[in-house]
Structure 1
Amino acid sequence: MKNLFIVSSPFQCISALEAKTQLALENNIIVAVYYSNDGSNTHKQMREIFKLSEWNEIVEIGLERKKSKYFEYISIINKLKQYEYKNVFTGHFGQFQNILLSNLITSKIYALDDGSATLRWHKSELNPNIKSEVKFSKKMKILRYSLIGLKTYFDRKRVNYFTMFDLKPYYGETIVQNKFIFMRRYTANKTVDNSTVYFIGQPLYGEKLVEKNVYFEFLENIKRYFVKQNKKIIYIPHRREENLEEFGNIIDDNFKIQRLPTSVEIHLLSLDILPAGICSFYSTALFSINKIFNIDTIAVYLNSEFLNYNQDGIENTYDEFKKNNIKILKREDI
């Protein structure tokens, strides 16, 4: 039987690669679902990760920008439901993924990590003990698939987890711990440059989570904090950070920007000399890098007063950082 992986971000691709390796799976199809707001950087990074291993088939959806992907989705669903699968893995539970899962014959369905979203899924959205309401507009979109004979009900109790997080089962679901076997093969014999720290950027002001002036004020303070320790910062922009001209005067010999063609985890694997530490606000990469590499991981704490929304979700992420021995750097410390 075949195994199917459905991914829509670079880290989901890494999770798929690790599941394929750890579980020694053969006859694997990977489906990349691209969204209109991804940007070309997302596509490039995902394709670079696909190259790291053999896949029996790679299917890409959403390469062309269209107002509606309805007919493209139907075509892919009809193609994929012809087969029977031993395992199906997905890093997202959107409308397309849920309808696809509803129409597949498979022994097991696994959620792949999509960063700290996994914690939210397990706690609420995929928790069968919590009832969730479907908006009327979504019901109408789902109805279109029912009218052509596709199943649309997805049973959340079928979801198991392949995850780097220490989750507790609610109802007997299988939780497989991601040991990062593939990535850790390549971490031996690396040295550390104690004069350099990577800062992983996030599109926080672009997504209006924080104000622009707040984001750059934090970066200035973080820069001063590390300069006092005789360390330079290499800022790694998020793939959705497009306008780097806004960094202006912050860029100098102690703060440089380097855009990566792949995920930061894969980039670190390619280096012989690692930075002394990896710092960010609450990037998912802090979790994975902390488990893969023997270097410091530091989360800069964003007080709720600076956040325009999602205060509880971000606070939960910082709580998980503490559980994973990731250092929390508070504003008063910088």
Structure 2
Amino acid sequence: MSFLYKADPVRGAEWARLFAEQAPDIPFHCWPDYGAAEQVRYLAAWLPPENLASQFPNVEVVFSVGAGIDQFDFSLLPPDIPVVRMIEPGIAVGMVEYVTHAVLAIHRQSHLYARLQREQRWQEHPIKPAASCRIGVLGLGVMGQSVLSKLRDFGFPCAGWSRSAHALDGVDCYAGEDALPAFLARSDILICLLPLTQHTRGILNRKLFNALPAGAAVINVGRGGHLDEAALLEALASGQLSSATLDVCEIEPLPAGHPFWEHPNIVLTPHIASMTQPASAVEVVLDNIRRHQSGQPLIGLVDRSLGY
């Protein structure tokens, strides 16, 4: 029995060290070195091999090295192999830091003052209390709930939307398509933390932007596929949106010459909002391996019919 890691090789080296310390009885291989293919029982990958079933016929569990699994082509994975998304505290902590920073930068007009500094203009603008800035989070999974918990502590009125009903302390929860317009109408800063599925692809579109209060801001830390890029540029040009903070794009890396690069009202980061931390990731994966070997339910098991 062996474990194969197929993702960033630098992080793979750290995984190898941690496996050697914590599970020396499990042979660890880092792609493209996979040892004896028939011995591979567990695979951790960003993108699994296209010929997984034939190349590694004895794989029993596939782990995603990220919180999302939309990059997986499930048609290439045997239906009987469990797929597990990464559930580790470091991902949520990093996301909370990024989104909190983005929200506070918008709320305290950091980008306006950066421009004034470049222009050498000493000009103050009114400060609005957090209670006047309504936060809306699309997606109420672990990260959505963690973000709302932190922003609520600043005094922002917080709401969340998801397809299924939730109840969270201090958060107005909306559920289902019928509730989406009311949720959007009270969201001055909209944060997308949805998984990317056939139902959520392109959800950040012209219709959604027009349902937000005039001058709202958007933060997308979900996936690039959530965003209609042309609709975003139109909404920014018309003033319907005041700004957008984007950590993800449909094409990554973003191509040279793309209008997002130099847009004055777009803040762009290269998919770094949150990263899996090797130490806690290995801990979670090893726990799931032990659970699998003892017949217990896996933590983070993906429902293929839902796409997350």
Is the TM value for this pair above 0.5?
Answer: no
TM-score, structure 1 as length reference: 0.28
TM-score, structure 2 as length reference: 0.29
Structure holding more strand per residue = 1
